[in-house]
Chains A and B, each alone.
Chain A
Amino acid sequence: MSKMRWLNIVVVLMMVLVGAVAVQAQDDVVELRMTWYSDGNEGEVMRDLLDRFEAENPDIVVVIDEVAYSTGILENLPIQLAAGEGPDIARVTDLGGLSEYYLDIGPLVEDPQYYEDNFGPFLTWLRPPGNTDGIFGIQNQLTVTGPFINRTLFEQAGVEVPSDVSDEVTWEEWAEAASAVAEATGTTAMAMDRSGHRLAGPAISLGAQYFDADGNPVIAGDEGFRSMAQLMIDWHENGIMSPEIWVGNAGQYAAANEQFVNGELVFYMSGSWQIGQFDNLIGDAFDWEAVPNPCGPGGCTGMPGGAATVAINQTEHPEEVARVIDFLAAEENLREFHERTLFIPAHAGIASSGLDFQTDNPLAAAALNQFSLAATQLSPIAVDLQAYPFNRVVFDSTRDRLTQAIVGELTLDEAIERMQQDIDEALAAVSE
């Protein structure tokens, strides 16, 4: 056999060998899929953290599947999970509603007590009914609902900001002041995210109970809820509330970010997750600020909420998933995540030691402080409602039925009756 021929054989064998080694090496690396959505820069920050994790743990690769919040997280993820086709890790906001699909990583993490000490009350939000000690993930975003105002518009209109003169401003006072500003400046007075969750804080402030004595969700006969619903109808009728959000959209969540960012809105009921976006998009174009939640007979509360990064029990790599979450939960990594995303921490240690939020904008820093304060002023009803596993049934029905009342398809009494029916029928389906 000629020299050339031998050379050819050797080259081919080497190629086969290299290929086999590459395949083997690939087999040794575990790939985890993480379903994620972003409101701001949290996807980038998470990627940076995971890059660091992968450098320290070359046997694990985490692929982030970035999806849209409404369709990806609220609609498709539950179907994927029910079909057994879920990811290994997911960022979820329907915290208790998906708890049957969470993996208890308690036995797999290095120090379960660390989770109990730092995420204690928020671990219960992720636990399925009856579970008292499971660790299913980390609450790495605590949100609180509350209003933002465009202070520049108040100044231009020469109207005093109600919260400058009183610690407890009612919804009616805010509506009156915002209307005066809107009239003087040719803007829209108020907007609220189209969400039953956003409505709940104001309703609880006006005395809504949401639950009966047995802990069942009840809307019918709840006078506090009715008062808030009536206010919403009146505000839409009077043109105080922007029709674009609740009336102009149907069947889904809608936000008024664009109107507020464009300086067209005086008062915007939303929540702390908007701070990062406002910081980026508004900058110093006008003075915006977060103000305390308006008050009523039930207090001055917003709604807690947020997102958790959870382990999914359909994973084939539970140990690797636990290692990823352990890394993300570590105080230094979580601190960086919060400081860069401007998210309020749920981690007790980080919250108590304070954060150096990465913003030069004093408006953003002030808003973060305001929402951090609001997090300590939550009504117990608000906390219970957030912890209730089927709270989205309540939120979605109140949102859609109230819209029908606003546009005149139903009277308020009929709308409330339908809300109760929707909730009862959905819960009956769960127990079938």
Chain B
Amino acid sequence: MSQMDAAGASSTTIEPIRVKQRFSPGRFIGEIAVEIFSFVMNTIEIVVGPLQRLIGLERMPYFFLLPNMLIFGIFVLFPMVLNFFYAFTGGTELFLRDRPYVGSANLARLFDCQNFLNPNSCNQDIFWRAIRNSVTYVAFDVGGIVIFALITALILNRNIRGRGFFRSVFFYPVLLSPVVIGLIWKWVIQTDGILNGMLNLFGGDPIDFRRSAAWMRFWVVFVSVWAQMGFYTLILLAGLQSIPRELYEAGEIDGTTKLRGFWHITLPLLKPTMLVVLVLSLIRAVQVFDHVFVLTGGGPGSATTFIVQYIFDTGFSNQIKQFGLAAAASLVLGSVLLVLTLMQLRVGNRGDDAA
């Protein structure tokens, strides 16, 4: 067979078939992109190749992490270290080298309190009002987010008509900037705003929301839940969809009611996801500032002033900028966030172990 082939090949020449290709702009751009990509990769290879030989393959991940770590170091780690040193200085100078060392005086001022439950008895009463406001806010905000995100996820997990549309609707506010969110709701709830206009339309009396501490505390929580719920709904939805359907089918065969199924199948299996939602929303709630600052400015009085606003006002907004005191308050906030982050890591690790 091979001899015949060889004889045939020697006796006849086979002309390659030429297919006349038409010019395609997409193909042309693709080819150029491939050329550029190859060029970039070859250029990188000039550096990376010898480096890999020098430090070894197992150390290469650190090289790839370096740019990110550099940015993290400059914009996160360095300011944190700087903040630590600022917390132990006084005066009003901006640069650390010009600021006098005052030891723990700033922290002592913050914690100079006769009764921590009564801000009026504290040297820095606004700081303690901010702490009290933050604790209340965190409780309602996180509670609201977890409950409403769970309810929404449960509904969206069902086979309802327009499910994709509703998922988008609930997620849309997550895409908005907090400043825009604050402005939109400010227009809604101001005395001559949309909400009072509607109340008026239906014969009700307008409500002076912005004058009432209780109402404004409600609105900052409501707006936060409205704005963030979509994000956490998606996480919970992913958690719900990972629960095997067989468990529900087995439950149904055994005559389990839907409520019982929710308590004994859904909730236990959703617990790791809910813990993630809880910790993430907790961290965000402690850091709350932007949408509240736009919506209420911290008022009425100091009813919606939270820790970050206290830091901002002390360090930047006032004529005499007390960077040291603001940095000390940041340390306190940082400590709280550290504890919450450790909680988050622990929750994450537990989830990994369980997996």
Q: Chain A: residues with CB nearer than 8 A to chain B?
A: 74-75, 78-79, 82-83, 94, 97, 243-244, 247-252, 390, 392-393, 396, 403-404, 406-410, 414, 418, 421, 425-427, 429-430, 432
The answer to whether A407 touches B300, judged by C-beta atoms less than 8 angstroms apart, is yes
Whether A426 contacts B210 in the complex (CB less than 8 A), given A248-B300, A249-B297, comes out as: no
Question: Which chain B residue has the least Cβ–Cβ distance from A83?
Answer: B94
Q: Evaluate whether A251 and B303 lie within 8 angstroms (CB atoms) in the complex, with A82-B94, A426-B322, A429-B92 already known.
A: no
A244 with B94, Cβ < 8 A, contacts A250-B305, A252-B297, A403-B301 known: no
Question: B197-218 interface mask toward A, CB cutoff 8 Å, 1 = contact, 0 = none?
Answer: 0000000000010110100000
Mark the stretch among B244-252, B312-320, B342-350 that contacts chain A.
Answer: B312-320
B305 to A251, Cβ gap below 8 A? yes
Between A and B, 5 residue pairs with Cβ closer than 8 Å are A250-B296, A252-B297, A393-B320, A403-B299, A432-B91
Closest to B296 in A: A250
A252–B305 Cα gap in the complex (Å)? Answer: 13
Residue of B nearest to A403 (CB): B301
Tell me if B313 and A432 are in contact (CB < 8 A): no
Per the bound structure, the CA–CA distance linking A250 and B298 in Å amounts to 6
What's the Cα separation between A408 and B301 when bound, in Å? 8
Q: Would you call A426 and B299 a contact (CB within 8 A)? A: no
A248 touches B320 (CB 8 A): no
Instruction: Kindly list the 7 A-B residue pairs having the minimum CB-CB distance in the complex, ordered from nearest.
Output: A250-B299, A392-B319, A248-B210, A426-B320, A407-B301, A82-B94, A250-B297
B210/A409 in contact, CB under 8 A: no
Distance between Cα atoms of A403 and B297 in the complex (Å): 13
Residues from chain B with a CB closer than 8 A to the CB of A404 are 301-302
B317 touches A414 (CB 8 A): no
- Is there contact, CB below 8 Å, between A250 and B302? yes
Chain B nearest CB, measured from A218 CB (Å): 17
What 17 additional pairs, Cβ within 8 angstroms, besides A248-B191, A250-B300?
Answer: A78-B319, A79-B94, A94-B319, A97-B319, A244-B211, A247-B211, A250-B299, A250-B301, A250-B302, A251-B298, A392-B318, A403-B301, A404-B302, A407-B300, A409-B301, A418-B125, A426-B322
| Cross-chain contact B320 with A432 (CB below 8 angstroms) | no
CB-CB contacts of B305-336 with A at 8 A, as 1s and 0s? 10001000100111111100000000000000
Q: Is the interface of A mostly helix, strand, loop or mixed?
A: helix
CA distance A79 to B129 in the complex (A): 27
- Chain B contacts for A82, CB-based, 8 A: 93-94, 321
Q: Given contacts A251-B305, A393-B318, are A410 and B298 in contact (CB under 8 A)?
A: no
Give chain B residues whose Cβ lies under 8 Å from the Cβ of A427. 320
Q: In the complex, are the beta carbons of B319 and A426 less than 8 A apart?
A: yes
A406 to B211 CA separation, bound complex (whole angstroms)? 10
Residue numbers in A under 8 Å from B309 (CB-CB): 251
Quick check: A251 and B317 within 8 Å, CB to CB? yes
Binding site for A on B (CB under 8 A): 90-94, 100, 102, 120, 123, 125, 129, 190-191, 208, 210-211, 213, 296-305, 309, 313, 316-322
The listed residue with most A CB atoms (<10 A of its CB), out of B90, B300, B302, is B300
Which B-chain residue is minimally distant from A70 (CB atoms)? B317
Instruction: Assess the B100–A432 pair: CB atoms within 8 A.
Output: yes
Chain B residues within 8 Å of A418, by CB? 125
* Bound Cα distance A249, B295 (Å): 9
Contacts of A248 in B (CB 8 A): 190-191, 210-211, 299-300
Given known A78-B321, A94-B319, A97-B319, contact A429–B91 (CB-CB < 8 A): yes
Which of B100, B210, B320 lies in contact with A247, CB distance below 8 A? B210
- Least CB distance from A304 to B in Å reads 18
**Which chain B positions have C-beta within 8 A of A390?**
319-320
Q: Is the CB of A429 within 8 A of B320?
A: yes
A248 to B208, CA, bound (A): 9
Q: From the candidates B92, B125, B208, name the one contacting A430 in the complex (CB within 8 A).
A: B92
Contacts of B93 in A (CB 8 A): 82
A residues less than 8 Å from B191 (CB atoms):
244, 248
Within 8 Å CB of A252, what residues of B?
297, 317
Separation of A97 and B297 alpha carbons in the complex (Å) = 24
Contacts of B208 in A (CB 8 A): 243
Closest residue of chain A to B93 (Cβ to Cβ) is A82
**From residue A24, how far is it (CB to closest CB) to chain B in Å?**
35
Residue in B100, B296, B302, B313 whose beta carbon sits within 8 Å of that of A409 in the complex: B302
Question: What residues of chain A lie closer than 8 Å to B304, measured between beta carbons?
Answer: 250
Enumerate chain B residues within 8 angstroms of A244, measured Cβ to Cβ.
190-191, 210-211
Known A-B contacts A252-B297, A404-B302; A429 and B94 likewise in contact (beta carbons under 8 Å): no
In whole Å, how far is A79's beta carbon from the nearest beta carbon of chain B? Answer: 7
> Is the pair A432, B297 in contact by a Cβ cutoff of 8 Å?
no
Q: Measured between alpha carbons, how far is A396 from B317 in the docked complex, in Å? A: 10
- Residue of A whose beta carbon sits closest to that of B321: A78
CB distance from B290 to the nearest CB of A (A): 13
Bound form: Cα–Cα A94–B301 in Å? 25
Closest chain A CB from B310 CB (angstroms): 10
Cα–Cα, bound, A85→B248 (Å): 65
Question: Which A residues are in CB contact (< 8 Å) with B300?
Answer: 247-248, 250, 403, 407
CA distance A427 to B320 in the complex (A): 8
Rounded to whole angstroms, the CA-CA distance of A403 and B90 in the bound complex is: 28
- In whole angstroms, how far apart are the Cα atoms of A79 and B93 in the complex? 10
Instruction: Tell me whether A407 and B305 are in contact (CB under 8 A).
Output: no
* Distance in angstroms between the alpha carbons of A406 and B319 in the assembled complex: 23
Which residues from B are CB-within-8-Å of A421? Answer: 123
Q: Are B120 and A414 in contact (CB under 8 A)?
A: yes
Residues of A within 8 A of B102 (CB): 432
| Shortest CB distance B132–A (Å) | 11
CA distance A425 to B301 in the complex (A): 21
A196 CB to closest chain B CB, in angstroms?
11
Q: How many whole Å from A46's CB to the nearest CB in chain B?
A: 26
Take A83-B94, A250-B296 as given contacts and tell me if A426 and B301 are in contact as well, using a CB distance cutoff of 8 Å: no
